[in-house]
Amino acid sequence: MNAEGRGRLDHMPQWQALARHREELGEVRLRDLFADDPGRAERYGVRVGDLYLDYSKNLVTDETLRLLGELAGATGVAELRDAMFRGERINTTENRAVLHTALRAPREAVIEVDGEDVVPAVHAVLDRMAVFAQAVRSGRWVGHTGRRVRNVVNIGIGGSDLGPAMAFEALRAYTDRELEVRFVSNVDGADLHEALQGLDPAETLFVVASKTFTTIETITNATSAKNWLLAGLGAGKEAVAKHFVALSTNAEAVGEFGIDTSNMFEFWDWVGGRYSYDSAIGLSLMIAIGPDRFREMLDGFRTVDTHFRTAPPGENAPLLLGLLGIWYGAFFDAQSHAVLPYSHYLSKFPAYLQQLDMESNGKSVDRQGRPVSWQTGPVVWGTPGTNGQHAYFQLLHQGTRLVPADLIGFARPVPGLSPELAAQHDLLMANLFAQGQALAFGKAQEEVRAEGVPEEQVPHRTFRGNRPTTTILADELTPSVLGQLVALYEHKVFVQGAVWDIDSFDQWGVELGKVLAKRVEPALTGGAEPAGLDASTAALVARYRALRGR
Ligand code: F6P
């Protein structure tokens, strides 16, 4: 049955078969699964590009995987995937194609939206970005007073911030250290205030990133930045052209803001904000790492796109990751999913994935608008190892909740560390491997007793284990590997949305708060209280006004 004709997920025989299978499995023990199958570690591993995924420490058997595969088949994941790659309007609530994969398509590819090939435009923008990035990096692009750019401040929020900020952090080792690159997102003035510290306006370029160019945080910050620039230079509006560029789909609003549209790098409505950092939204990153490294990153994305499209189901990494998450959410009541990168450079990766996953799959009606009666997207969270181990890992090991986790690590440290610091890498990775082991196999009561632990302490020092992890291992965190990792998660999210029968590409859930904030704001600054304010919020607004003496 294809996606169009499918029934309700929980009425499907494949779903019900999984529910029965879960009951039959009962208290499945990873210790037993490994003991019964010496080949498990080898068999439950899959390679995609430079990534190796070990999913053997998951609470699954061959039968579980077979049934999950049948579910994927019955829910039309492959058909929807092909429709996405073909440029069909699979974002039905916004009537849009979903073509972030076109952003990394090779020049010779042909991908049509409404009969028009979008690939030439993608490469035209990439080429313009490369010319501009090189001009900034080489010092050929000069500001209003003729000085070269030494500071780049990216102003954007959500997908227009998290992606480039995460990737800049991840690829710091590849950045031009002469350039200061900063990211501003929060409408809290403190964010811009701190970002501007120590910067000389004559040497500062603002990259205003906003798909819609109407996002209040970004426009407010960009306006303040413009005022700071013009005051600092003692110049008129003519200075803006040399210090502001825009990344957007909305040329009209860019022009109205006062940015010369010849300094605008465009993208298209078929690129979702959270899927956009490999579009023009990546300009700050491209300036930092250079066009060649940026293209290597795109190649990495493409490697996983091709894998997702062509690898058989049993070896298809995004499909497997997606199905594992569905299994835990539906049949183990897992509420969250931890992403634990053992790389300090990936410190912003969990935050990036929060938007990617939670904005995509935090939905509770199906594509037809009917309430779902199954779990959809999990709460995604995490921080880099080993820091988390000294904070919340206690709960992961001995808490009452099951938290499936991804452990991400690299065989080598990034280039540039001193020999002494590079040598710390083994200790870092020893921790990753140890955590996966401890979470999976725990420490049985008998083992604790055998160590002579007093009987009253035995329960406290016992680890039940059986906490599932998937380990993702690569040689090194290069631009290409980063692209591969991001595409892996993009497609994982896709798979889950497809099975859950939700539209993963809209984000109506963020609208209500925006509208209410607009309505409340005048009351905070002394205007009339908006009609229809609930008693709690009205009292809070009154208290705020009193505190501010308004
Ligand atoms: O509020 C949610 C959102 O629309 C995200 O989806 C998006 O990434 C972010 O706001 C920023 O939007 P824009 O790039 O249009 O400023």
**Catalytic (active site) residue 359:** yes
**Residue 215 CB–ligand 1 contact under 6 Å:** yes
Ligand 1 closest atom vs CA 212: 15
159: CA distance to ligand 1 center in Å?
6
**Ligand 1 pocket mutation pick from 96, 98, 154, 160 by most atoms within 8 angstroms of CB:** 160
**Catalytic (active site) residue 390:** yes
Ligand 1 closest atom vs CA 156: 16
The two beta strands, 204-209 and 180-184, are unpaired
DSSP E strand boundaries for 96-150? 112-113, 116-117
Q: Are 383 and 350 in contact (CB under 8 A)?
A: yes
Does ipTM top 0.95?
yes
Q: Which amino acid appears at position 64 of this protein? A: T
- State residue 513's pLDDT score: 94
Q: Which amino acid appears at position 379 of this protein? A: V
- State residue 264's pLDDT score: 98
Is the pTM higher than 0.90? The answer reads yes
In which band, very low, low, confident or very high, does the pLDDT at 506 lie, cut at 50, 70 and 90? very high
DSSP E strand boundaries for 185-271? 204-209, 244-248, 264-266
513: CA distance to ligand 1 center in Å?
13
Domains and CATH numbers, the chain: 3-75+312-506 (3.40.50.10490), 112-293 (3.40.50.10490), 509-548 (1.10.1390)
The two beta strands, 51-54 and 469-474, are antiparallel
Per DSSP, the residues of 338-404 read EEEES-GGGTTHHHHHIIIIIIHH---B-TTSPBP-S--PPEEE---TTGGGGTTHHHHHHSSS---
Q: Are 151 and 199 in contact (CB under 8 A)?
A: yes
Of 114, 193, 180, nearest in space to 152 by CA:
180
- State residue 532's pLDDT score: 86
**Residue 247 CB–ligand 1 contact under 6 Å:** no
User: What gap in Å lies between CA 414 and CA 475, rounded to an integer?
Assistant: 10
Q: What is the DSSP letter of 463?
A: B
Q: What is the mean pLDDT of residues 492-512?
A: 97
* Residue in 23, 390, 446, 511 annotated catalytic: 390
Q: Which amino acid appears at position 142 of this protein? A: V
Flag whether pLDDT at 2 surpasses 70.
Answer: no
User: Which residues, other chains included, contact 204 with Cβ-Cβ below 8 Å and sequence gap of 6+?
Assistant: 143, 149, 150, 151, 152, 153, 229, 243
pLDDT tens for 221-260 read 999 999 999 999 999 999 999 999 999 999 999 999 999 9
User: What gap in Å lies between CA 139 and CA 178, rounded to an integer?
Assistant: 11
pLDDT tens for 26-75 read 999 999 999 999 999 999 999 999 999 999 999 999 999 999 999 999 99
Q: Which amino acid appears at position 258 of this protein? A: G
Q: What is the mean pLDDT of residues 364-384?
A: 97
Q: What is the mean pLDDT of residues 311-321?
A: 97
In which band, very low, low, confident or very high, does the pLDDT at 3 lie, cut at 50, 70 and 90? very low
Flag whether pLDDT at 4 surpasses 70.
Answer: no
